[in-house]
Structure 1
Amino acid sequence: MSGNIMLPTPHKIIDIIRETENEYTFRIETIAKVKHGQFFQVSLPKVGEAPISVSAMGDGWVELTIRKVGKVTNEIFNLKPGDKIFMRGPYGNPFPLDDFKGKDLVIIAGGTGVSPVRSLLKYFYEHPDEIHSLYFIAGFKDEKSILFKEDLSNFRKRFNTIYTLDKDKIEGFEVGFVTEHIQKIPFNNFENYNVVIVGPPVMMHFAALECLKKGVTEDKIWLSFERKMSCGVGKCGHCKINETYVCLEGPVFNYTKAKNLLD
């Protein structure tokens, strides 16, 4: 990044993938160097902007999975491939990828929290020799809320996966919240490992507590506060929790710090 860090630039939409009724994935041209766990500020002139986590990345593009929840995202959903969208970034403290390599990794995600960990999962799917083992728990509200179905199917082939729905019972999915399935992770068999937790604050809070009950130490747990993002550069103060600017120090935090930021 150079020049005015608050100035967005136009980027072409390459493709749009409908994930659910309210969530679309936009593949967007960019030469930006992005790390797993970072986010962009996405905007439309005269409409506004919204912080969106990177859900995948490749040579000359990123994917942003956007949920239709307000004025800005409603307008973005009217765009078509070939149209321009404005972005600035990437911003944020990423997941410590190098620290994850060669170890066991547990990823626990709830709902749209699957988006910020998707690029990390895809990386280790494509580089299986760089991870000792990977356990992935993903929870969704119901069948209509399931994101990245093709990826979830692929991840089953290479990772130890548990997919669950809050109440619905369908083939390939357990029933219950992700916290109810953490007990199935064989932490005692791991020598050196990390745990990533992303989702609504309540889910992250109780998932972390379940991991601690299983003997996981605080320094092995990583959380992402991607939902707290606002301006991205520490100017507006909307992401501030106590004295911490989440956009500057996060969104990824080690639990030793994150435990004091959870509601």
Structure 2
Amino acid sequence: MKWKGKRKSSNVEDRRGQRSSGSGVGGFNPMILGPLIRLLFSKTGLIIVGIFLVISLLTGNNPLHIISQFFSGGSQQTETVSPYQGTAKENELAAFSATILANTEDVWNQLLDNYREPTLVLFTNSVSSACGHASSATGPFYCPGDEKLYIDLGFFDDMERKLNAPGDFAQAYVIAHEVGHHIQKIMGITDKMQQLRGQLSKTEFNKYSVRLELQADFLAGVWAHHSQRMSQMMETGDLAEAMNAANAIGDDRLQKNASGRVVPDSFTHGTSEQRMRWFRKGFETGDLSQGDTFSANPL
């Protein structure tokens, strides 16, 4: 890909090297328990606690969190041990990811009215999001609760070494797929999926999950189609890299490699053939109206 020297997105949170400190419920710091008990049993303390309660009612904040912040001087729950120094390769991947995100912004701002640009969060080992705590083993993911994409850049190394899916355009496909989930959030598709979660069996819900993921593959292909028309970043062999990556992360292939058997009822992302086909359809047509995977029969 010809990506170097192009615009990088400003919608990037670099949390590499950060860790979350273990706090109690609602961010309450247990280290203040002793001072808090002494405060409660003093006359002045009753007045101060009353003030905290009034503030909590006015602001909607947990009173324990307010008291904790008071005693700790307003310190944050996320801390950085020291300024993070990535390797040259990792820092280049960070720059690459910010460039691809910028390119998706250019494409989707053109295709959608009032497009809300998502944020890309780079993290190391584990991360907290509005969707909960996740480790790097989860792989890249999109959280609709905060409209952010989360990626441990080490995943790209895993793609090359463990999945045999190397190449910068393969990596771009991964980012574009997660942005595809953001498009689904904007279109209201994600919310409809969440409404179905409690109404269907796990097997039936998985079938809808497959359609959701294949649509994200299609949307990644739509991005690639318009990106190439607008920026000419793709080079010979790039499309093959994306197709190879889609093939490598098909449910059937992953299950076969992991256990030697394939269980279709447990599929959540689609087969290798389906993932390649829907990405290619998006790439070849660039037409959003042709990506209704929920009505497609056969899929």
More strand by share: 1
Greater share of helix residues, 1 or 2?
A: 2
Larger radius of gyration: 2
Instruction: State the TM-score, normalizing by the size of structure 1.
Output: 0.26
